[in-house]
Every structure is written in structure tokens, then in C-alpha cells.
Amino acid sequence: MTGYLLRRLAGTVPVLVLISLLVFLLIHAAPGDPTLMLLGEETNAAEIAKAKARWGLDQPLYVQYWKFLTTVAAGDFGKSFKYAEPVTSVIRSRLPATIELAFFAIVIATVLAIPLGVWAGARPNSWIDNLGTTCGLFGISMPSFWLAIMLILLLAGVLNILPTSGRSTYGIAGPEQTGFYILDSVMQKNWRAVWDALSHLFLPALALGVNMLGILMRVTRSSILEVMNEDYVRTARAKGLREKKVVWRHVSSNALIPVITVVGLELGTLLSGSIIVETVFAWPGGGSLLITALNARDYPLVTGLVLTYTTAFVGINLIIDGLYAVVDPRIRY
Amino acid sequence: MQSLTLESATEKAPGALARLLPRLHAKAFTGGLIVLTFVLVGVFGPYLAPHDPNKQQLTAMMKPPQGIGAVHVLGTDNLGRDIFSRVIHGTRVSLLVAFAVVFVSGLIGITLGAVSGYFGGKADFLIQKLVEVIWAFPPLLLGITIMAFLGQGLFNLILALVAQRWIPYCRVVRGQALSLRSRDFVTAAQSLGSTHGKIILRHIIPNLIQTSLVIGTFAMASSIIAEASLSFLGVGVPPHIPTWGTMLADARIYISTAWWLPLFPGACIFITVLGINLLGDALRDILDPRLKRTGSGL
């Protein structure tokens, strides 16, 4: 088990190096010149040359890549063109917002999807199954950014009950400690700020979580359907256990194993979804930062963000694999 | 695992099938009808649209929907362009892009998957490394990166969407090719002196069509959403081409004042994708129930 995980961990290194190469090449295949973009079209040749030398853009490509790879491996992504700050610190200031958003999206999705899926799977073709299946289908077919827009339109524009942009109302939250607003406010016992942060979080998290909700519901349902035919379920029934107990104790605990994998797999979709949902809700996380950085052709920042997201995704998959083995003792590596 | 599922399926066959069939037909029928409608709208779009989708009419800006029979059925946008005509033209572009993406990714994925599974060895190793690297990108992120650096345009967009979408084909096809290559009919073909290319083309690929069809349906749904997402972010279709995604991007700043701007293009995406997913579900249930476990079909 440990050996397997270590092997997997070692296997991710070449993948990450190749990813960095791919990103590096893509950036340099771009038509626009970042120096012109940053200094404006009116700059004279000497200034351009000076700027290029300062950023190392006058070096041959392989020298730039090698320099880039060695600094990145040391955990240094360089300085952002736009913010004139180290990329790592820019990203670090934005990541808590994305993690907070993704976490609550997962919570909303699982809390709604798993009971619905278990219910639907335990009683195939009943009204609850029809409702669940329809929800699942709607969930997977819903473009999250359109749902985001519609939620803003309905809940904020017409009913005017929830805020639609940003993470908090100005002046309510106390000083930042961890960067996770809800956690910070709870630690400071500032309940008004907790409520404020939650009300800002709800709509984006719902919009982001809806695809995962649909997929989780469908997977839970089909997984339950499959387990319902197992021998030990029949045994449990034959013992005279009540149906409720059979479903929740015997069926669910076994059927939920594939669901964990799907949560892991869908985290990638969630990360990408957060880019677009953050943009709609002006959520100050890594996703909206990426779009800003792309529009400014801020190469170091884009590279840093893409590599951070990809590394996170690779890491999550690794953790999920390990978790899978813990949950299902039948799995041996 | 597989044999187990198959056994239990045959055990409950009579009752289950009787229950399944009407539902299957309802799914296939509804999904098929939705998809067919949008495809027809896409094909005959230029004849159906009452106005030029890009014609600006500054005297008729921001008109709310006027209902069937009126000049602007679904209203007009901030430049006085007719929403109904734009939605129709958007259907054409969105579906064309999605079809192209599914076709090209299928071609690449099936070929690489068949080669990878049939030959094994070095080819398999290289192809699987490529799969691993590309699959390590969160979906959409690679698309966004490619588009951002190569620039907007239909060709780049298709390239950016294909970049990851060939992988599900490749994975499933590789698995099946692995098991097919040791089957008797392949051994027979080999001993009769068939070339590898011929075996792959004649004996391996025909056996993979059904599964690929199911994957393709779901890839179509995800391509439509991805195209709209990229266009919405401003890195997809160039802004002068009306698509559902660019319409939503234009609508963003007017959300609070003009509900009809985001409603119609988004509803088109949702309904089309819903129809395709319904059709995909039905196809999968009929052709390849083994794919069911993944939930999204991918």
C-alpha cells in the first residue's frame, strides 16, 4: 500500500515536468508580445530591449525553459508582470477563496445527492426515483455559468435576498488570519461576519456544485441498484431487518465506495467550473485571477496558476486512490 | 465483476426488460426529438431566421420579447440585434463546432486506442504517457490555456476542445482492443497472413463502434457546454460570430435590466444538452450497459 503510493508519487514527477513543458511551449507559441502589451505600443526599441533583458525574454527558448524549470522546482514562479509581486504570494492570497468555494460546492452536492441517490436506487421506478433521475439529468445537463446568471437574476435581482458578487460586505469581516473568511470569523466569534460570508458563498457554491450533484446522484443510484442484488442484502432481509436498516447499513455502506472515486474525479471538473463561476460572481479566487492574468498576458502568473491547479488535481487523484484502499479493504495494491 | 453484472442482468431479464423498455423508448424518443429539432434548426437556420443576426438597429434596442408573430419574437439586445435570429444562427455554429470536435476526437482517440491496445509495447507506453499528461489537466483549463495563447478562432477552438476529448475514446478502445487481440477471430486473421493495419481496420475497429457511439454522444454534450464556456470567457468563438456562449457573454452586464438576454441562449444550451444526454442514456442502456458506472458516460 505505502509502496504503491510512493510509486504513484514518483510517477507524477515526469508528468508534472511534461506539463510544465507543454504550458511553456504554448505560452511561447502565442502571437502577442508581452513586452509591447505591458509597455504600450509607443515604446522605443531601447526600452523594449531593456525590459526583455530584465525579464530574460531575450534568451533562447531552451535557456528560458531550463531557467523556468529549475526555479519552479524550487517553488518559485517568478514575479507577476501585472502585480509586480512574486507569483506565489499573489496565488496564495487568492487560493483560500477558491478552496472555500469548492469545499462548500462539494458539501452542497453530496448532502443533496447521496440521500436522493440512495432513496432513488432503493426504490426503482417509484416517484422518488423519477424525481431523483430527473434531478440527476438536469444536474449533468446544466451549464453552471448559465445557472449562475439565472440565480443572480432570480434570487438577487428579483427577490433581492442574497448578495451576488464578492466574498463579504465591506467592513463586516475582522482581520484576515487564514484567508478562509468563514473560519476566520468563527475564530473571532464574529457571527454577523459568518452569516455575511455564508450568504455570499451560497449562490456561487450552488451554481458550482450542481453538475457534481447530478453526477453523484446518478452514480449513487446505479451503485445502490447493483448492490441491492447482492447475497448479503438478501441475508440481511432474511434476518428480518427493517428495510430502512437494510438500505442504510448494508447497502449504502458498500455502495458508496465508487461514489468516493467519482467525487475525486469530478474535483477536476469542479476546479475548471470554479474558473467560470468565479468570473460570473466576481469571486476573488484563483479562477478569476487566471482570467485576469490571461487577458494581461501575465506569463509567470498564468504558468503559476495552471501549474498550481494541475498539481492540485494530480495530488487529489493520488489522495483519492489512497482513500479508496482505506475504505475498501478488498482493494490491495 | 463483469460476469457478475451480466448474470444478474439475465436473472431478472423478463421483468426488468418489460419495465425498462417503455422508459427507454420515452428517453430515446424525447431525446431524439429535441436533438432532431435543434439539428434541423441548425441546418435550415439561414432560411428560418427572420432577421440578419448581426444587423444592428439602434432604434430598437433592448426590446423585451414581443411574442409569436411580432417583429422581434424574443426581443432585441443592447445593439438592437434580433435575439431570435441570433439564437437560430447560434444553434448552427454551436452544433457544427460540437460535431467537428466529436468527429475529430473520435478519429484520433479510436486510432490511438486501437494501436495502443493492439500492439502494446513501446507504442502503448508512449500513447499512455501522453494520455496521462493531458489527463492531468483539469478539464477546460487546457482548453482555456490553448485558446488564450493561440488566439480566438473556429479552428483553434476545435483544436482546444479536441485536446482532451479524444482521451475517453482512447482509454475505452484500448481496453477493448487489448481483449480483442487475443480472440480467436484475430488469431485466425493473423495466421491467414493479414497485415496489422488490415486487422485493426477490419476486425478490431468494427467491434468498437457501439461503445464509441455512446462515448461520442456524451462528448457531444460536453463539447457544447465547453464551447459555450470558452466563448463566454471571451476565449472561444470570435465575438462577431453569434453563438450561445458569445450571446451569454454579451448579456452579462445587462443581467439586472434585461432578463431575456441571458435566458434564451442559456435555455438553448440546457435543452440541447439535456436532449443529447437523454439520447446518450438510452443508447448506452441499449448498446453498452457496462459504461453505466461512470455516471457521466466518460
Inter-residue long-range contacts of B40-47, CB under 8 Å, 24+ positions, other chains counted: B41/B88, B41/B91, B41/B92, B42/B91, B42/B92, B42/B94, B42/B95, B42/B96, B43/B92, B45/B88, B45/B89, B45/B91, B45/B92, B46/B89, B46/B92
Lowest mean pLDDT among A160-169, B152-161, B266-275: A160-169
Looking at residue A124, what is its pLDDT?
79
Sequence-distant (≥ 6) Cβ neighbours of residue A132 within 8 angstroms: A116, A117, A119, A120, A217, A221
Q: Distance between CA atoms of A45 and B139, rounded to whole angstroms?
A: 40
Is B1 a member of any domain? no
Q: Distance between CA atoms of B97 and B94, rounded to whole angstroms?
A: 5
Read off the pLDDT of residues A229-250 as tens digits, 9 standing for 90 and up.
Answer: 778 888 888 888 887 778 877 7
Is B43 a member of any domain? yes
Is B19 a member of any domain? no
**Highest mean predicted confidence (pLDDT) among A109-113, A184-188, B10-14, B254-258:** A109-113
Looking at residue A242, what is its pLDDT?
82
Is the pLDDT confidence value at B21 over 90? no
Is B205 a member of any domain? yes
Q: What CATH number is attached to the domain comprising B135? A: 1.10.3720.10
| Band of pLDDT at residue B10, cut at 50, 70 and 90 | very low
Contact indicator for A262, A320 with CB cutoff of 8 Å: no
Mean pLDDT of chain A: 82
Is B298 a member of any domain? no
Percent share of chain A, pLDDT over 90: 10
Looking at residue A208, what is its pLDDT?
92
Nearest Cα of chain B lies from the Cα of A174 at a distance, in angstroms, of 31
More confidently predicted of B46 and B96:
B96
Q: Distance between CA atoms of A150 and A163, rounded to whole angstroms?
A: 14
Is B167 a member of any domain? yes
Is the pLDDT confidence value at B242 over 90? no
C-alpha cell at B212: 464509441
Sign of CA dihedral A236, A237, A240, A242: positive
Q: Name the residue in chain B with its Cα closest to that of A159.
A: B256
Q: Name the residue in chain B with its Cα closest to that of A126.
A: B19
Is the pLDDT confidence value at B22 over 80? no
Percent share of chain B, pLDDT over 90: 18
Quote the number of domains for chain B: 1
What pairs with residue B76 in β-bridges? B82
Range of the domain at B275: 24-287
| Band of pLDDT at residue B292, cut at 50, 70 and 90 | low
Looking at residue B4, what is its pLDDT?
40
Is the pLDDT confidence value at B2 over 70? no
Is the pLDDT confidence value at B94 over 70? yes
What pairs with residue A79 in β-bridges? A86
Surface of A (157-216) touching B: CB under 8 A: 157, 215-216
| Band of pLDDT at residue B3, cut at 50, 70 and 90 | very low
Contact indicator for A204, A277 with CB cutoff of 8 Å: yes
Looking at residue A206, what is its pLDDT?
92
Q: Distance between CA atoms of A185 and A177, rounded to whole angstroms?
A: 9
CA proximity to A106, closest of A255, A226, A259, A230: A259
Looking at residue A230, what is its pLDDT?
79
Nearest Cα of chain A lies from the Cα of B188 at a distance, in angstroms, of 36
Is B294 a member of any domain? no
Q: Distance between CA atoms of A179 and B58, rounded to whole angstroms?
A: 47
Alpha helices in chain A (DSSP H): 2-28, 34-39, 45-55, 61-73, 87-122, 127-141, 144-151, 181-187, 191-227, 231-238, 243-245, 252-255, 257-280, 286-295, 299-327
Which residues of A are less than 8 Å from B150 in CB distance?
26, 29-31
pLDDT < 50 regions, chain A: none
Three-state DSSP state, A304: helix
C-alpha cell at B44: 435550415
Looking at residue A248, what is its pLDDT?
78
Is B18 a member of any domain? no
Is the pLDDT confidence value at B265 over 80? yes
Which residues of A are less than 8 Å from B133 in CB distance?
15, 18-19, 22
**Global pTM value:** 0.84
Read off the pLDDT of residues B192-211 as tens digits, 9 standing for 90 and up.
Answer: 888 888 888 887 788 788 88
Considering CB atoms only, which of A18, A152, A229 is closest to B133? A18
